[in-house]
Structure 1
Amino acid sequence: MKTDPMRSDRGIVPPLVTPLTEKGRLDLVGLECLIEHVVAGGVHGLFILGTTGEGPSLCCEVRREMIRHTCRIARGRLPVYVGISDTAIIESVSLARFAADAGCDFVVVTPPYYFPVGQVELTAYFRQLLAELPLPTMLYNMPSVTGLSIDPETVRSLLDQEKVVGLKDSSGDLDYFKEILKIASVREDFSVMVGPEHLLAQTLALGGDGGVAGGANIWPSIFVDLYEASVSDESVDISPLNSYIVQLGEIYKVGPESITATIARTKMALSICQICTETTAPPILPTNSKERERISQILVQLGRIPGQSHAGIPQSQIA
C-alpha cells in the first residue's frame, strides 16, 4: 500500500551537510543558502548532524549552533530532525533537550559506537535513552560507521515505545529493509526510510516511506519528484527520474570510494553550484583539483551549474 505523502515523518528528508568556514566555524551564509535551496526543491524535512552532516566530527558548540540556526532559518516551514548520537547517554540527552528547546521536531539515534555491544545491551541502551528523550525518535541503522546493526528483533522489541516513530536504514541491505517493513507494519505511525539513494525507487515500491538522500542537498527536486510520483495513485513512469538520480550518484564514484569521500564530494558539488563552501571537518579530507574537475563535468551534464541547463531535463526539474 502506498504511503501518505503529507505525513511529517515521510518523504524526502535531505541529510544536510554542515557548511563550515576555513576555521571550522559554522558558515551561516552558506547554511541559509543551502536550506533555502532544498526548501525551494520541495523537500519534506531537514536532517542535521547526521553522517553527511559530519555530526561526530563537530565540536559541541558548532553542533548547537547548527541546531539553533537551522531552526531559525527553517521557521517552522518543515520538520527538523537532529542526530544526537554520542558514546555517552548523558551527552545525547543534553543535545536532545537543546534541540527540543530550539524547536526541532525529531531526534535521530544510532547504536553507541566504540564498544562492541550485543543486541541485549543495545535494547537496554535504547530503552534507557528513550526514557529521557524529549522528542519523537528515529532509529538510525548504519553498521558501516557504527560497527553494529540494529537487528530486526531489536526493532520489534522497541515497538512498544511510543516515542520511537521510525527507522532510517543506511545498511544497503534490501532483505533487512523488507524485514523491518514487515515488523513495523503493526504500527501505522512507524516510518521506514532509506539512506542509499540508488535504492530509493526500489524501497518506495516495497512500501517504504521515503528517503534521507545525500544527493538531495544538490538536486532536491528530482528526489521529491520521484517520491511524489511513487506515492501517487496514478501510474507514472519513474524510470527517467531514477536515471537522473543514478547519474548524480556518479559524483560519489570520483576517485577512491569511501563514506568520508562521499561527504567531501557532496560538499564540493555544492561549492561548484555556488550554494556553500566545500570545507570539511577533520579527519575528512577535501577533494583535489582533478576530482573537482570531474564533479563539475557531471554537474554540467545534469544541468546543475548555475546558468547552464541540460536539454534532456524538463525545466520544472531544474531546481
Structure 2
Amino acid sequence: MTFPAPLTGVVPPVCTPLTPDREVDVPSLLRLVDHLVGAGVDALFVLGSTSEVAYLRDAQRRLVVEAVTERVGGRLPVLAGVVDMTTPRVLDHVAAVTAAGADAVVVTAPFYARTHPAEIARHFRLVAAASPVPVIAYDIPVAVHTKLPADVVLDLAAEGVLAGLKDSSGDLAAFREIVTGARTRPDITGFSVLTGSELLVDAALALGADGAVPGLANVDPDGYVRLDRLCRAGDLERARAEQERLCALFGLVSVGDPARMGGGSSALGAFKAALHLRGVIDCPATADPQIPLSPQEVQRVGEYLAAAGLL
C-alpha cells in the first residue's frame, strides 16, 4: 500500500504470542491482529520492543512479518522493526522484512559499538539508501544507550532520509523540539512524530504529535483509539478522563516482584497475561531468559483489567 505521509493515529507495537516451547504462535498472532484492526487502529508495528524483537530468531522475525502482512492484506500500513547492532546487520533485516511485505522499517541507532552523532546519521542514510520503503527512526535510549539528537533527526527528515520518529525516550522537551521543528521548518514535509508513551498521549497530541505507539494498546486498543479521536475532536475533558483510565490500567506493568524479575519481564508478562485473560492469545509465555509471572501476579493483572472494565 502507499505509505501515508505523515502517518497518524494509533499504531500498536504488536506483541508476539509464543507457544509453551517458545515458537511463534501464528493463530494467536492472527487473533491479536484481528483484535487490533477491529478496534480501528491506524497501523501496526511489529518487531518492536513490545514484540520482544531482541529475543526472536531471524526466521521467527520473518514469520511474524509474513503472517501479519498477509492477514492485514493492505488494509493498514505494517511497520517492521529492523533492530540490530550495526548497519550491515540492519540491512539484512531490511531485505528480509520488506521481502515479507512490510510497508516501512523502524530503525534504532547502532548499539554495542560506541557511536558518534555523525555515525548515527550515516547509519540512517545508508539504511534509507538501501531500503525500498520509508524509514522511521526509533529513539529508545534505555535499550540502545544513545539518545537521538533532535537536530540530527530534523536534518535527516529535511533530507528525506527519515519519514518519521517513534519517540520512546521519555524526554518531553526534546520531543517538543522535534514536533515544533517538523511543523515550522519549510524544508520538512510529511514527517510523522509519534510518541511511544502510554501515559502522555493526550499531552503529546496537544503538543502537535501525529500519533502514538503505546504497548498497552495491545490490551485495550479501543481505549487508545477513543483517546486519539477525542483529542482530535477537541473534547479535552473526556480525553483527559480516558487517558487517566488508561494510566490506571498501565499499573499492571508493575505486578512483577522486582526482587526476582526485571521491569521488562514484568511489563511484557503483564501484557501477555492480560491478552490471555481476555481470550485473545492461547499462552502468555514470554521469551527466555525473561522470568514468568506467578499465579498471584497474573491474578493482579486480572484485577487491573476488571477495574478498567475489560473483564
Calculate the TM-score normalised by the size of structure 2: 0.92
1:1-319 to 2 correspondences below 5 Å: 9-185=7-183, 186=185, 187-232=188-233, 237-255=238-256, 256=258, 258-276=263-281, 277-305=283-311
When residues 157 and 188 of structure 1 are mapped into structure 2, their CA distance, relative to the original with a 3 A threshold, is closer
CA distance in structure 1 between the partners assigned to 2:238 and 2:278 by the alignment: 29
CA distance in structure 1 between the partners assigned to 2:111 and 2:237 by the alignment: 42
Superposition deviation, residue 163 in structure 1: 4.0
CA distance in structure 2 between the partners assigned to 1:159 and 1:18 by the alignment: 30
SS across alignment from 1:159: helix
Q: Is the 8 A contact 1:71 1:103 kept in 2?
A: yes
CA distance in structure 2 between the partners assigned to 1:248 and 1:101 by the alignment: 37
CA distance in structure 2 between the partners assigned to 1:142 and 1:191 by the alignment: 17
Superposition deviation, residue 175 in structure 1: 0.5
SS across alignment from 1:271: helix
Structural RMSD (CA)? 1.7
Bigger CA drift: 227-236 or 98-107? 227-236
| 1:81-139 alpha-carbon deviations (Å, 9 max, x no partner) | 00002123233222222222222211100011112212122112221222111110110
Q: Is the 8 A contact 1:45 1:79 kept in 2?
A: yes
Bigger CA drift: 166-175 or 227-236? 227-236
CA distance in structure 2 between the partners assigned to 1:87 and 1:235 by the alignment: 41
Where does structure 1 lack aligned partners over 5 or more consecutive residues? 1-5, 306-319
Superposition deviation, residue 234 in structure 1: 6.1
Superposition deviation, residue 25 in structure 1: 1.2
Superposition deviation, residue 236 in structure 1: 5.9
Bigger CA drift: 296-305 or 35-44? 296-305
Q: Is the 8 A contact 1:15 1:214 kept in 2?
A: yes
CA distance in structure 2 between the partners assigned to 1:177 and 1:279 by the alignment: 34
Q: Is the 8 A contact 1:8 1:79 kept in 2?
A: no
Superposition deviation, residue 7 in structure 1: 6.1
Superposition deviation, residue 233 in structure 1: 5.6
Where does structure 2 lack aligned partners over 5 or more consecutive residues? none
CA distance in structure 2 between the partners assigned to 1:235 and 1:58 by the alignment: 40
